[in-house]
Amino acid sequence: MKKIKKLFTSTQFKNGSFSAGIIVLVIAIVVVLNMIVSSLPTTLTNVDMSDTLLYSVGETTEELLDSLDKDVEIKVIAETGSVDTRIEQFLSRYSDLSSHISVEYLDPVLHPSVLTDYGVDSYSLVVTCPDTDKSTTIDFNDIIVYDYSQYYYGGNITEKEFDGEGQLASAIDYVTSDNTKKIYMMTGHEEQSFSTDLEDLIQKANMTTEEYNMLTDGAIPEDCDLLISYAPTRDLADDEMTALLDYINNGGKAMIIRTATDETLDNFDEVMKTYGMNMTEGYIAEPTRYYTQGRSAYNFFPTIMNSDINGDLTTDSLILVSAVKGMTLDEEEPEGVTLTPFLSTTSEAYEINGEEQNQGLYYLGVSAEVENQGTAASDTDAAEAQETAGLGETAAAEETENAGETAAAEETESTAETAELEPGRLTVLTVDSMIDTNITSSFTNIENLTEFMNVLTSNFEDVDNISIPAKSLEESRNTFASTGIWSSLFIGIIPAVLLVIGFVVWIRRRRA
């Protein structure tokens, strides 16, 4: 007993007990910390250190999720364990950012009926909103985009882009909103077509496009939310010009994207002049904000003016254009028209027309809000419609007799309706090169497509620009030109500090 008692009272036992207690305490602390950390959202536990901020969400998405007031269900249709970790992590971030978003994984192998229930293939996301009963599907290949350009030559398929944020933000906005817009693209004047990248952004903003020829397709469709003529090089017919002016004057929205051409487009010019805008004859040269590598004042960065049309872009944002013409504005706005310029040159710019040079400020983007005249159906049209319908003299007499009784009521109703009519709008851009793929694909740090989408969506009060470009998955080198703060910290600062400390310790030991 004395030996046992001595064993438990010895200094060695006390030191060992203390060490064992410390170990148990540390293990307990680690377990508790792991439990606490595991319950935290991924937005706090996972730091995005990728060069392109692959797993982070931007301000547009944050605003969308903050304003979300409807529940959104995301069903991941894929075999268990086969979902790309990047997609899993991104979905986790979305669900952490909003309590209205829920994510559920459904294995089609264990539950084959899910494919027919949702009408999709495996490796898809089904985004639904019970409140609106709207649903949309996102294929995994639309999130992780592959490059097949080298497949037929070397059998190589490489990852090109990660579009998780753009696809999910667009899907959530679509299922929770009723604001799907229809854009008609004018044809018949040798107009250009939007690039694939721009069409993708338009679709992400929940807009659809369809071609429309004013001469062959008849009157402008009633479901037209915006009519666009993109870089026409042939002029409007007189009837087309009249129809376009009537459309705008009666609340229609139109957008003309002019291209620098030597062709005469008198009727397009006349439409612009009607609302106080005048095209320049010469090309615009900007000697103070030109692209230095291009070594030409015709390739320059326009001034982004202080206007809501430009969204969040500021004068520090860069937009690059090339070989464009400009506009001047009437000194006095036409009656019933309010002009809002949003893109311009500096006052040091020149209009170059042959040997003639005119210095001054030129506008590259202007929006004209037009007072709704409410004259879509004239008295002549009404009379012709009555005659076509076969109204005889008796019917006309009866209508005249009833007119006296209803005139006052109709006039009151008409006045009330006119007061509530939305104004028309004509937006003119003279910089078609702003959305030229030769520019947008070559410069990753410019805001050309963002600016264009801001201008496009500014036509609608109930639509925001939520078009988010995909993020590149191409290999990038760890150069200071492309590193973020976290990359700089872990790749440069911490290793440098450790090297200095190691060198100092080594010197001290050498001297000891």
Cβ atoms of residues 284 and 298 within 8 Å: yes
Q: Confidence band (pLDDT; 50, 70, 90) for 9?
A: low
Q: What sign results for the dihedral spanned by CA atoms 340, 276, 207, 431?
A: negative
pTM: predicted TM-score of the whole model, two decimal places: 0.66
Specify the DSSP class assigned to residue 346: -
Residue 44's pLDDT band (boundaries 50, 70, 90)? low
Residue 500 tokens, joined: 């200095």
Single-letter amino acid, residue 171: A
Residue the block writes with tokens 């793929």? 437
Residue 173, φ and ψ in degrees, nearest 5: -65, -40
pLDDT of res. 206: 83
Percent with pLDDT over 90 in the chain: 44
Q: How many residues does the chain have?
A: 512
Residue 473: Cβ within 10 Å count: 20
Ranking 47-56, 122-131, 181-190 by mean pLDDT, the lowest is 47-56
Q: Where is average pLDDT lowest: 10-19, 207-216, 328-337?
A: 10-19
Q: Token digits for 376?
A: 């879509």
DSSP code of residue 290: B
Instruction: Please report which confidence band the pLDDT of residue 60 belongs to, taking 50, 70 and 90 as the band edges.
Output: confident
Would you call 445 exposed, middle or buried from its count of C-beta atoms within 10 A (0-12, 13-18, 19+)? exposed
Residue 129 vs residue 45, higher pLDDT: 129
Whether residue 483 is predicted with pLDDT greater than 50 in this model: the reply is no
User: What mean pLDDT do residues 229-253 have?
Assistant: 96
β-sheet bridge partners, residue 99? none
Rounded Cα distance between 327 and 429, Å, is 9
Concatenated DSSP letters of 113-129: HHHHHHT--SSEEEEEE
Q: What pLDDT is recorded for position 94?
A: 83
Q: Please report where in the chains the tokens 């059998």 appear, as a residue.
A: 155
Residue 449 in tokens: 């497509």
pLDDT digit string, tens, across residues 366-376 = 999 999 988 64
pLDDT of residue 478: 43
Instruction: Give residue 40's pLDDT.
Output: 56
pLDDT band at 476 (very low <50, low <70, confident <90, very high): very low
Give the least confident one: 29-38, 65-74, 344-353, 375-384: 375-384
pLDDT at position 334 is 96
Q: Is the pLDDT of residue 395 over 50?
A: no
**What is the rounded average pLDDT for all residues in the chain?**
82
Give the per-residue pLDDT at 433.
95
Q: Residue 46: is its pLDDT beyond 60? A: no
Of 55, 127, 112, nearest to 79 by C-alpha is: 112
Task: Indicate the helix (H) or strand (E) that contains 353.
Answer: strand 350-353
Angle (deg, nearest 10), helices 164-176 and 59-66: 30
Model confidence at 479: pLDDT above 80: no
pLDDT of amino acid 212: 96
Residue 322 pLDDT > 70, yes or no?
yes
Question: Which of 242 and 292 is assigned the larger pLDDT?
Answer: 242
For the cut 70, the answer to whether the pLDDT of residue 67 exceeds it is yes
**By the 8 A CB rule, do 301 and 289 touch?**
yes
C-alpha 272/C-alpha 184 separation (Å) is: 19
pLDDT at 255: 98
Q: Which of 52-56, 63-67, 351-355, 395-399 has the highest mean pLDDT?
A: 351-355
Average pLDDT over residues 431-443: 92
* Confidence (pLDDT) at 178: 75
As a whole-number percent, the residues of the chain with pLDDT over 70 amount to 78
Q: What is the mean pLDDT of residues 123-144?
A: 91
Q: What is the pLDDT of residue 158?
A: 82
pLDDT tens track for 154-199:
677 888 888 888 888 888 888 888 778 999 999 999 999 999 889 9
